[in-house]
Amino acid sequence: MVTAFDYVPAIVLLPFVSFVVALFLGKNLPKKGAYGGIAATAGSLLLSIWVLFAVRGGGAHQETYWTWAEGVGSQPFTLEFGALIDPLSALMLVIVTLIATLVHVFSLGYMNDEGERDLPRYYAGLGLFTASMLGFVIADNLLMAFMFFELVGLCSFLLIGFHFREEGPPSAAKKAFLVTRFGDYFFLVGVVAVFATFGTAAFAGAESFPALAEGALAGNVDVWTPGGLDVMTWFTVVGLLVLGGVMGKSAQFPLHTWLPDAMEGPTPVSALIHAATMVAAGVYLVARMYGFYVLTPTTMGIIALVGGFTALFAATMGIVKEELKQVLAYSTISQYGYMMLALGSGGYVAAVFHLTTHAFFKALLFLGAGSVIIAMHHNENMWDMGGLKNKMPVTYWTFLAGSLALAGIFPFAGFWSKDEILYEALIHGLNEPLILVGYVFGLLAVPVTAFYTFRMVFLTFHGNARSETARNPEPVRWNVKGPLSVLGVLAAVTGVINMVPVQKVLGIEGIDYLHLWLNNHYGGIEGLSSHHYAEIGPYSSGTLFGGEVATVVAGAAVSLGLAVGGLLLAWKLYNVAEPVEHTDKLGGAKSLLYNNYYQDEFQVWLANRTRGVSGGADTFDQGVVDGVVNGVSSVSLVSGDRIKRIQTGVVGNYALLLTLSLTALLVVFALIGGWF
């Protein structure tokens, strides 16, 4: 019988076909390949929804499509491509394909209607990115995940540098590529370490590396460790190595510096890649191999601490930015910090929940920003805007929905997910001081987030118009408003998929759908459930005020109160007819924040200090590697130059050579064969 799972490869291949078509035929197509991209991603979306319902109906799927390398020896590795469809990947498939489809539609308005050039290259990049991202999502082993992880990084590079004729984008693209590659370097070492330790990199099953690691810690399984290292220590090291790639891709401190610069790319690209999906790849990877991470409390603590710190750190920088997309970029970093905090503090479901809601509302905010940018003729400075509320109602109301979600205001999607993260961090933090520090960071970031979000909203849409373009903005068409509306509704209502606080306070059972979903309540693969993760996890829960309900209410009240406080402060300062730059009052702190805590300068300084190492590598490359290659070719060149002298062109010489050679050959044969 044909099931949805038979079509899993098609989900990945459809966007890939659109990439090939756009690349080779794009010039001759109407809208330069946009329709092909929309059709392919929409097809993938439908198939993904089908897969989602198949998982809802109790299914789960793991299949190896292609074994592309088989080892020999006593412990052979097999390297393979396969698909792993469980509740987590099914959900992620739907998120990625939905956002990709909407971004393709939006691109019609943002790229085609604006008369950009080289559109086939743009749509080819989007197609390849979507295909790679989906391939990453369905990956059933760490190596395949790594390969697609690199591919999405490449697509990100290509699309950030789309406007390569200008000065900024190529530089930003290089920076994004190099910084994420720095993290991926550790990831690669981690992949090799996983292979060396377990002999497999599969995510799921009894022979998967999380299962083997669990067995090794229980003393049931023997694994290789370098130099007889303690198993727990070695697993921590491996986990941290893989985490390097995660921190690069998900823009966690200190590898977050590339993401704000990545805003040089076209806005739909920022929405798809640098907000909703690719940046989520890091978080998704941790969730995918969560069964491995929960085994090592040290790694979990580091994840939580880095996440919480990044959430607060990035949020503070968002306060002073003047450009719309820069604010959103820092809020993206901050929100992914929350997800890492959730993962580190044992809130697997909370992290996936926030991943989902964030994908919707942050894609919405970026597309809304794109709409504003169209209207403002590509001027992104918020101080030139103002008063757009009445001129762009659709954009305003959807943007407002996204902002409320981002700020975590009841009852928008972001409130539920952020509240659950903070709740998980709180109850686990009560017994674990490190997690509690992460919780405090996260909690402090709440009012900051609300403040910069509404500073952005008020500066952009409220007050009086502060420039000529703001007084007469360019109208946007259906292809901009359509995706905004869809995402606006989703940003408002996605919270209902996981109403845990309501369930706990009011006692209504069965409305925590996402918990049931990720707990293999409907269908799933043994060992990949949130229940299993909680069992093997290091944390125990504590409560405040003598009860779970009280803890839930208190946590939600505190975070909502802080968010509303931040919102009201922004309201007071910026919701006026002629707002002034209150951030100037911060004095030196402002320039510190505005220059991103001099992170870039620090990294440049660091790069200059390590110039000796890279210079040595360069000398080695130029001298030894290139030297060997050049040496080999020069041998051929010189010997060819000498040997060509034989070819005199005089027929007599050829005849003489033939005769002499024949004679010599005959003599040799005669001597060997004994003819004489």
Partner 1 sequence: MTDDEPGSSSRKPGLAAVALFGVLAAVVLGSASGFSDPAAGFPAGESIIHNIGYALFDIDLGGIPSEGFLAAFLIIAIALDVALDSAVYLAKQEDEGRIISALTDGGQDIVDGEVAGTTETDETDRGGDR
Partner 2 sequence: MVPPEYYLLLSSGLFCIGLFGILTRRNALYFLMSVELMLNAANINLVAFSFYWGNLTGQTFALFAIALAAAEVAVGIGIILALYRNFGDVDVMQAATMRW
**Binding interface with partner 1 (CB under 8 A):** 652, 655-656, 659-660, 662-663, 666-667, 670, 675-676
Q: How far is the CB of 647 from partner 1 (least distance, A)?
A: 17
Q: How far is the CB of 676 from partner 1 (least distance, A)?
A: 4
C-alpha span between 2 and 202 (Å, rounded) = 26
Helices (H) and strands (E) in the chain, counts: 29, 2
Closest CA to 203 of 144, 133, 244, 150: 144
The answer, yes or no, to whether the previous bond of 411 is cis (omega within 30 of 0) is yes
Residues constituting the chain: 676
Among the listed ranges 324-332, 525-533, 596-604, 648-656, the one in contact with partner 2 (CB under 8 A) is 648-656
- Which of the listed partners (partner 2, partner 1, none) does 667 bind, with a CB threshold of 5 to 8 Å by partner kind? partner 1
Q: How far is the CB of 643 from partner 1 (least distance, A)?
A: 21
Closest CA to 331 of 354, 299, 348: 354
Q: How far is the CB of 17 from partner 1 (least distance, A)?
A: 52
- Which of the listed partners (partner 2, partner 1, none) does 666 bind, with a CB threshold of 5 to 8 Å by partner kind? partner 1
**Hey, what are 121's tokens?**
């290259």
Q: How far is the CB of 645 from partner 1 (least distance, A)?
A: 18
667 binds partner 2 (CB under 8 A): no
Of 2 and 650, nearer to partner 2 (C-beta) is: 650
Give the three-state DSSP class for 84: strand
- Which of the listed partners (partner 2, partner 1, none) does 651 bind, with a CB threshold of 5 to 8 Å by partner kind? partner 2
Of 637 and 660, nearer to partner 1 (C-beta) is: 660
Q: How far is the CB of 664 from partner 2 (least distance, A)?
A: 15
Of 2 and 646, nearer to partner 2 (C-beta) is: 646
Number of residues that bind partner 2 (CB under 8 A): 10
648 binds partner 2 (CB under 8 A): yes
Which contacts qualify for 630-639: CB closer than 8 Å, 24 or more apart? none
For residue 45, what are the contacts with CB-CB under 8 A and spacing of at least 6?
94, 97, 98, 100, 101
**334 and 407 Cβ atoms separated by less than 8 Å:** no
Site residues (CB under 8 A) for partner 2, limited to 527-566: none
Q: Counting Cβ atoms within 10 Å, is residue 344 exposed (0-12), middle (13-18) or buried (19+)? A: buried
649 binds partner 2 (CB under 8 A): yes
Work out which of 561, 659, 667, 668 binds partner 2, going by CB under 8 A. 659
656 binds partner 2 (CB under 8 A): yes
Q: How far is the CB of 636 from partner 2 (least distance, A)?
A: 15
C-alpha span between 161 and 442 (Å, rounded) = 33
Of 628 and 664, nearer to partner 1 (C-beta) is: 664
**282 and 250 Cβ atoms separated by less than 8 Å:** yes
165 binds partner 2 (CB under 8 A): no
Q: How far is the CB of 660 from partner 1 (least distance, A)?
A: 5
664 binds partner 2 (CB under 8 A): no
536: left (phi over 0), alpha (psi -120 to 50) or beta: alpha
Among the listed ranges 44-52, 155-163, 254-262, 649-657, the one in contact with partner 2 (CB under 8 A) is 649-657
Q: Where would I find the H helices in 161-272?
A: 168-198, 209-218, 231-249, 258-261, 267-271
Among the listed ranges 265-273, 372-380, 571-579, 651-659, the one in contact with partner 2 (CB under 8 A) is 651-659
Give the three-state DSSP class for 62: strand
The answer, yes or no, to whether the previous bond of 254 is cis (omega within 30 of 0) is yes
Q: Which helix (H) or strand (E) holds 14?
A: helix 8-25
673 binds partner 2 (CB under 8 A): no
- Which of the listed partners (partner 1, partner 2, none) does 660 bind, with a CB threshold of 5 to 8 Å by partner kind? partner 1
Work out which of 655, 667, 670, 671 binds partner 2, going by CB under 8 A. 655
**283 and 355 Cβ atoms separated by less than 8 Å:** yes
Give the three-state DSSP class for 64: strand
Work out which of 219, 507, 652, 673 binds partner 2, going by CB under 8 A. 652
72 binds partner 2 (CB under 8 A): no
Q: How far is the CB of 651 from partner 2 (least distance, A)?
A: 5
- Which of the listed partners (partner 1, partner 2, none) does 66 bind, with a CB threshold of 5 to 8 Å by partner kind? none
- How would you write 613-631 as a 3-class SS string? HHHHHHHHHHHHHHHHHHH
Q: How far is the CB of 649 from partner 1 (least distance, A)?
A: 16
Of 178 and 667, nearer to partner 1 (C-beta) is: 667
Of 69 and 670, nearer to partner 2 (C-beta) is: 670
Site residues (CB under 8 A) for partner 2, limited to 628-647: 644, 647
- Which of the listed partners (partner 2, partner 1, none) does 644 bind, with a CB threshold of 5 to 8 Å by partner kind? partner 2
Q: Which helix (H) or strand (E) holds 70?
A: strand 61-70
C-alpha span between 42 and 10 (Å, rounded) = 12
C-alpha span between 260 and 195 (Å, rounded) = 35
Of 229 and 666, nearer to partner 1 (C-beta) is: 666
What backbone phi and psi angles, to 5 degrees, belong to 66? -150, 120
The separation between the first and the last C-alpha atoms of the chain, rounded to the nearest angstrom, is: 78
Of 66 and 675, nearer to partner 1 (C-beta) is: 675
Q: How far is the CB of 648 from partner 2 (least distance, A)?
A: 6
C-alpha torsion sign, points 554, 555, 559, 562: positive
Closest CA to 331 of 381, 383, 264, 279: 279
Identity of residue 142: L
Q: How far is the CB of 634 from partner 2 (least distance, A)?
A: 19
**In the beta sheet, which residues pair with residue 66?**
81
Work out which of 72, 613, 651, 672 binds partner 2, going by CB under 8 A. 651
Of 576 and 664, nearer to partner 1 (C-beta) is: 664
- Which of the listed partners (partner 1, partner 2, none) does 647 bind, with a CB threshold of 5 to 8 Å by partner kind? partner 2
Of 228 and 652, nearer to partner 1 (C-beta) is: 652
Q: Which residues would be at the binding site for partner 2 (CB under 8 A)?
A: 644, 647-652, 655-656, 659
